[in-house]
Structure 1
Amino acid sequence: MTATATGTGARRPLTWLAERWSLLGHVRGLPGVVRLLLVTQLVFNIGFYLVVPFLAVHLSENLAMAGWAIGIVLGVRTFSQQGMFVVGGALADRFGVRPTVLAGCALRVFGFVVLAGASAFSTVLLGTVLIGFAAALFSPAVESALASYGSELQERGTITRTELFGLFAVFGEIGSVTGPLIGAALLSVDFALTCAVAAVVFTVILFAHARWLPGSSGGAGRPLLQGWARILRNRTFLVFAAAYSAYLLSYNQLYLALPVELGRVGAESALGWMFALASLIVVLGQLPLASWARARLGAARALPIGFGLLSLSFASVAAWAWASTPESLAVAPAVGFVVLLTFGQMLAVPLAQDLVPRLAGEDNLGSYYGFLASAGGVAVLLGSGLAGGLLDLAAAPGPAAPVPWLVLAALPAAGGLTLLALSRRLIR
């Protein structure tokens, strides 16, 4: 009996992990429309990352555009997507999820076609605006539909809404890893071919949604401004959105602050590996972590702890930044930063996405998800300018080098404390 018990105990970690990963098996038991939404996130990211990461290279090397022109194109693309989420969400509430998603897919197909043949600055700008606004149309619509279906599935005991958003994150991460790999291979042939393949990908998704996405998914017929009016009166949600925006600003530092740290230690070539590490952690760890957090921490604690990890990721680099790092440990601060930041994201984001419908009263979900995304976009726009200036201090070891990292650590710490107060009151 003792041997058997010991053997069982030894198997428990592997058994537990296998059980958590069996959530992937739940995909088969989910309704077809929910599976469609999950696959949609994967394919959306494949199509997007086929092209956008290589856009600046194309504009510079193939079209010989000046740096200022490339900056405008990339900035307008970001604004037409992130800044317009709030509009796309309101349109989803007004006209329904299905027509909004179909319009977004069609618009993105057209945008890629325009971009494929664009050679002038104005045409490139048009194509990128169409691509960006397309995401603003379908992303809040898809998230609101997933939240609605997740509520039904949670009531049936099939899967919790938090776990469903965890699956959503995994599918999206697989797409964001796969897209650049395919895009890099196609770019060696021709950028127009890359755009054409992306257009085909979104055409397939367009027809899949036209065939299988129910017309009733997500409520429709609400006045266009109703959601915005409700949001402006919902002070609790406004505080939540402000606090949560610290997450998107923090996560954006993978692209802004991480290269600075790698440059400090002369390991710029490791940047690609750091992105791969972050993706691998999400793909392998999101589902078991979400299940563990729900069982052991509870949602009210897991959300602020996630933001605490975001804060700790920056603080950990600050501890190294003031002095020269031994060569054998050169990338250790960067690895610690990526790991802590990614685990913080995996803890916080699915829980926050589950909390949005509760704050919205399960109504006008498109507007609420759209507003949340746009609030994060504003935080990135304003915060990245401040961070970019401060990060000059972190380019080389010295007494001032920890300062930008400590400032960046303070933002998610403040957001986490705010969410701690909110979650204690809202999550039971």
Structure 2
Amino acid sequence: MAAAARARKLGKRFLMTDHMLVVSGFYLVFPVVALHFVGQLGWAAASVGLALGVRQMAQQGMALFGGSLSDRFGAKPMIVGGMLLRALGFATMAYAVNPAMLVLSCVLSGLGGALFDPARGALVVKLTRPAERPRFYSILMMQESVAAVTGALLGTMLLGVEFRWVGLGGCAAFVLAALANAWLLPAYRVATPGTSAVNAMRIPLRDKPFIMLVLTLSGYYIMTVQLMMLVPVTLTELSGTPRTVAWMYAVDALLALMLLYPMARLGERYLTLEARLLAGIGIMCGAVLAMSAAAALLPMFVCIAVFYTGSLVAEPARESLVSRYARPSARASYMGLSRFGLALGGLFGYTAGGWLLDWSRAVHTPALPWLVLAAIGLLTLTVLACAAAPLPQKKSPPVAG
């Protein structure tokens, strides 16, 4: 028992260190993609949004397949191979000169994530107890916020020199992460031995309540992906410099460090996971609606701060709620299928976000994208609330006599 507890402790420490490196490499590149190709090169926002949406679909849409391979062959080979494939995608993006090359780089990056992300998610479920899981997710989110602002700041600095260094910097980060996992990560099995890849895929696909939750959460992701599509472009237009995007992630990091862990503890004490998820999405919807009226930099940053606060409430609850469904025989497959909502939400969110941005400029209605996004968020909130509501109890018929 002592040896198992020590192994879990060391495994969690490695996951936290690895998480910082992976998140920094990701945010070094993707928040500035729209700034470079739309803002600097003048490409159509819809075409860049399509490329980003394809990356999301390639990663999250194939995550079930990547998770089933992790259940069958173990986490380590999928993590190392996936990180190297993402590094290749970033290297290709560094030299993208047309939309086709950008789409190719995004597909390679997405397929890499489809291999390593479900395996890493399954390791979190394997190495944590259910009672401690929400707090561990909160710690990972705190780290993610700090790593995001670090990566975004470095990305915007490199963008001032040349975008090529942005792509090559992200490539270097994931090569380093792959080497660290190859050297230090034990050969963990994340599923019951003997589970075939096909059977591991079938188990979550037959779980109808889980699939309904995953599909409904696609509306939540349509809002969250705008932090890498509409929000950076809007901030740059309001401020006149892409450096403002790094300050957006600084706000996220500051709020996470101040609020995330205390809110997680209070939520555990007073609210269910479902209630925390609904509360967080409700706050995010209000922030997106307010963005439609934000015509200056300060009001926009206030809206962003409120949006981030909502995500700090919703995201640990969402991860914990999803992990509650994962069975030991198919942990990575469950985590992989849980990303399908992000695949749909990402593809639609990036593509529609870019299209709405182009359309709003053409008709001189800057509030249009935010109003549509707020409506989608409210619809998602309504469906989740109905699903979480307890069924009414049938009254017993009166007893005769």
TM-score, normalised via structure 1 length: 0.74
Which residue of 323, 326, 338 corresponds with 1:360? 326
Matched, 1:280 2:254: yes
Listed as ranges, the matches of 1:227-306 within 5 Å are 227-255=200-228, 258=231, 267=238, 272=245, 273-306=247-280
State the 1:229 CA deviation: 1.9
Aligned residues of 1:307 and 1:415 also touching (Cα < 8 A): no
Aligned residues of 2:273 and 2:318 also touching (Cα < 8 A): no
- How far apart in 2 are the matches of 1:60 and 1:295? 46
Matched, 1:375 2:341: yes
**140-149 vs 216-225, greater mean Cα deviation:** 216-225
Which residue of 51, 55, 73 corresponds with 1:77? 55
Cα deviation 1:67-111 (Å, max 9, x = unaligned): 487566444333322332232222222221111101112222333
Aligned residues of 2:64 and 2:337 also touching (Cα < 8 A): yes
State the 1:217 CA deviation: 3.9
- How far apart in 2 are the matches of 1:250 and 1:69? 19
Q: Find the counterpart in structure 1 of residue 395 from structure 2.
A: none
Q: Find the counterpart in structure 2 of residue 420 from structure 1.
A: 388
The DSSP-based 3-state class of the residue aligned with 1:178 is helix
Show structure 2 runs of 5+ residues with no match.
1-5, 392-401
The DSSP-based 3-state class of the residue aligned with 2:195 is coil
Cα deviation 1:222-274 (Å, max 9, x = unaligned): 322323322232111112112322321222344556579879xx945596344
Aligned residues of 2:90 and 2:167 also touching (Cα < 8 A): yes
Cα distance, 1:30–1:116 mapped onto 2, change above 3 Å: same
- How far apart in 2 are the matches of 1:53 and 1:256? 8
Listed as ranges, the matches of 1:104-143 within 5 Å are 104-116=82-94, 125-143=103-121
| Identity in percent | 26
- How far apart in 2 are the matches of 1:126 and 1:415? 35
TM-score, normalised via structure 2 length: 0.78
Q: Find the counterpart in structure 1 of residue 284 from structure 2.
A: 310
Aligned residues of 1:306 and 1:344 also touching (Cα < 8 A): yes
- How far apart in 2 are the matches of 1:402 and 1:300? 25
Aligned CA RMSD, in angstroms, stands at: 3.8
Listed as ranges, the matches of 1:210-225 within 5 Å are 210-219=182-191, 221-225=194-198
Which residue of 376, 383, 388 corresponds with 1:408? 376
**219-228 vs 338-347, greater mean Cα deviation:** 219-228
Matched, 1:351 2:329: no
Equivalent pairs, count: 377
- How far apart in 1 are the matches of 2:168 and 2:352? 38
The DSSP-based 3-state class of the residue aligned with 2:217 is helix
State the 1:348 CA deviation: 1.8
**229-238 vs 271-280, greater mean Cα deviation:** 271-280
- How far apart in 1 are the matches of 2:369 and 2:93? 41
The DSSP-based 3-state class of the residue aligned with 1:411 is helix
Aligned residues of 2:8 and 2:128 also touching (Cα < 8 A): no
- How far apart in 2 are the matches of 1:61 and 1:274? 18
Cα distance, 1:396–1:224 mapped onto 2, change above 3 Å: closer
- How far apart in 2 are the matches of 1:132 and 1:218? 22
The DSSP-based 3-state class of the residue aligned with 1:203 is helix
The DSSP-based 3-state class of the residue aligned with 1:129 is helix
The DSSP-based 3-state class of the residue aligned with 1:241 is helix
The DSSP-based 3-state class of the residue aligned with 2:136 is helix
Q: Say which structure, 1 or 2, has more relative contact order (CA 8 Å, 6+ apart).
A: 2
State the 1:39 CA deviation: 1.6
Show structure 1 runs of 5+ residues with no match.
1-27, 155-159, 424-428
Aligned residues of 1:251 and 1:341 also touching (Cα < 8 A): no
Cα deviation 1:342-367 (Å, max 9, x = unaligned): 22211221122122232233441222
Aligned residues of 1:306 and 1:346 also touching (Cα < 8 A): yes
- How far apart in 2 are the matches of 1:351 and 1:208? 30
Matched, 1:338 2:308: no
Q: Find the counterpart in structure 2 of residue 157 from structure 1.
A: none
Amino acid at match of 1:81: Q
Aligned residues of 2:220 and 2:377 also touching (Cα < 8 A): no
State the 1:44 CA deviation: 0.8
Matched, 1:43 2:17: no
Amino acid at match of 2:23: N
State the 1:422 CA deviation: 7.6
- How far apart in 2 are the matches of 1:205 and 1:296? 38
State the 1:214 CA deviation: 1.6
- How far apart in 2 are the matches of 1:114 and 1:133? 14
Q: Find the counterpart in structure 1 of residue 397 from structure 2.
A: none
- How far apart in 1 are the matches of 2:101 and 2:289? 44
Listed as ranges, the matches of 1:90-101 within 5 Å are 90-101=68-79
The DSSP-based 3-state class of the residue aligned with 2:313 is helix
Aligned residues of 2:52 and 2:347 also touching (Cα < 8 A): no
- How far apart in 1 are the matches of 2:369 and 2:38? 32
